[in-house]
Chain A
Amino acid sequence: MSVKVEVSEGGVPHDRIMAIGLVGSLVAIYLTYLNVLTGTQLFSFFGGIGAVFAIWWGTDSIKTLCSYGIGTGVPSAGMISLGSGVIAMLLATKMGVASPIGAVIIAAVLGVILGFLSDKVLNMNIPVMIRMLTELTIAGALILLGFSSMATGSFAFLDMIAGSTTFFGIEVATYSVSLIGGSVIAVIFMLGGIAIQHPFNACLGPNESQDRTQMCAAECGFLSMIAVAVMSFAFLSVGAAILGFIVAFIGWIYTYMEYIKLSKRDAFAWLDAKPIREPKGGA
């Protein structure tokens, strides 16, 4: 006997979630460009918001893909999403202002090829495979770009490889204390990889409901944003990092409370220190 992966019908159609997620993520990541225009680092947290949008969208893509029964577990979809996303994102960061759009395009090409390989060469024959893998690659690339720009303040390659450190009070430019030089990008990779697959993996079951799953996605996104905010202390000014931390924390508290409320709404019973309740029909 194996557990059946069931998904809820109805709710917001996936196309609308994709549109909101894609546009919202791009707009938010582009808002970090205000850093360059104003010469500060205070707008970095918009990158994190962009990543939350992408996680929110990617959750629904994973849900749509896995409801067809891919034979392996849900976490592998998250891993392939971020694995291909990181490759697309790193090339896109060399494109200057066009980086976010470039990330979407490169990720789309990569995703189509991977989807084609999975569906046709590996004979999986799942109708939505190519489209969903494309969406997942784009979402993965945007998550990485969003969190990277939140941590460093910009989405340009040069800013991600060049950092500075203080040596007895003197600022020294160095390549090793940077997002890529210090491999912080590996942390963002795993943060995104777990965050994108956790909401569906955690909420699956016969009574899965879309609003609860999506709320969990937002909560995972803000939780990851808190972690990235702590790491941004090494790259941004103290004020910008604290601002990012506060925004992430408030976002997380709100979505977490809402998620608990929705779980209470959907649960069969909400018991505190009560014994096992045998069902009416018996075992």
Chain B
Amino acid sequence: MSALGGAAAGGEGINPTASVIGIVVLLIALGITFFIASTGGTIALIGIIIGGALIGFGVHFVPVGGAPAAMGQAPGIATGVAMLAAGAGLAGLFGGAWAASLGFAVALGAGAVGGGLMMAITCLMVNVIYVFGMGIPSASGKVDKDPITGDTFPQYKSQGTEGHGLPFISYVGGVIGGTLGGLGGTLIYLELLAVYAAALPTLYNVPLEEVLPVAVSLAGIFAVGMFLINAVLTAYNITGTIEGPHDPKFKRFPRAVIAAAVASAVCGMVAIMVVAL
């Protein structure tokens, strides 16, 4: 995605009234779900909210440089935030869904590792291209020293650019972001799968094996939809590019977590209503 745009209108800081209203909406969603789906549905919704918050938090770790990164002008990966995070999260969801029959915790672990693995390999290949294909070492534009390795950056930044490549902190950030995204997406999927696998057989009076494809697909498409909503909301929060956890923009994450939690709560409530109403 090219980072086209006029002036980005994002402001800094949390808007307290709006955040409180958001949390009230979240609690109303929880209440309605308790009313129509009792404890089982409410626990599922809490899982979905946590999953959404994890996605919202995790996307902030992923280093994205946008269009300038494609020219070696800025550090990070040269793709859009939402879709890079979606790629990692969905690769994690693939692994998590595959392990769903082995148990809840194992599936979550598989989802998290799947997302982290994709980001680890992608970030490595990005660095390989920068180093061996373009002859450019990694340098960050926002800090002078790498917080983890202590590498200094100012003399390794080429003239007229804001840094390039993926310094180690950005690499680690990418892996963490992929892990959290895969974890969150898989959590949403597993909660919804549990709700549908329990409700659909009784609703249509058929054994579980027959209606399982419907449950899997419904949970899958809801998970993809909610993942994209949360990733796009977080991308709006980041306003385009971020270098990783060391970037000052990273401090904006609380409001994205709140927004993702509220969005997931409402969407999760609607998803549960499909079988509970």
Contacts and interface: CB of A to CB of B under 8 A. Distances in A.
State whether these chains interact: yes
Interface of A: 2-5, 66-77, 79-80, 82-84, 86-88, 90-91, 94, 106, 110, 113-114, 116-118, 120-126, 157, 161, 174-176, 178, 180-183, 185-186, 189, 204
Contact of B5 (A72, A113, A185): A72
Contacts of A90: 218, 221-222, 271, 274
A125 B224 contact: no
Contacts of A123: 10-15, 255
Contacts of B206: 175
B256 A183 contact: no
A91 B270 contact: yes
A124 B213 contact: no
B113 interface: no
B50 interface: no
Interface string B216-242: 011011101111110111011101100
B19 A121 contact: yes
A263 to B, nearest CB: 20
B211 A86 contact: no
Interface of B: 1-15, 17-19, 21-22, 25, 67, 80-83, 86, 206, 210-211, 213-214, 217-218, 220-222, 224-229, 231-233, 235-237, 239-240, 255-256, 258-259, 262-263, 266-267, 270-271, 273-274, 277
Contacts of B86: 79
Contacts of A204: 4
A87 to B, nearest CB: 5
Contact of B22 (A3, A4, A76, A117): A117
A195 B18 CA distance: 33
A68 B4 contact: no
A75 B80 contact: yes
A3 to B, nearest CB: 5
A70 B239 CA distance: 7
A71 B266 CA distance: 25
Contact of A76 (B10, B19, B82): B82
A161 B11 CA distance: 45
In order of increasing CB-CB distance, the 4 nearest A-B pairs are: A71-B8, A69-B6, A120-B18, A73-B1
A172 to B, nearest CB: 11
Given A118-B236, A124-B9, A180 B217 contact: yes
A87 B9 contact: no
Nearest to A67: B6
10 contacts: A70-B8, A72-B235, A74-B4, A76-B236, A91-B271, A116-B18, A121-B255, A122-B10, A175-B211, A189-B224
B214 A178 contact: yes
B210 A175 contact: yes
A152 B206 CA distance: 22
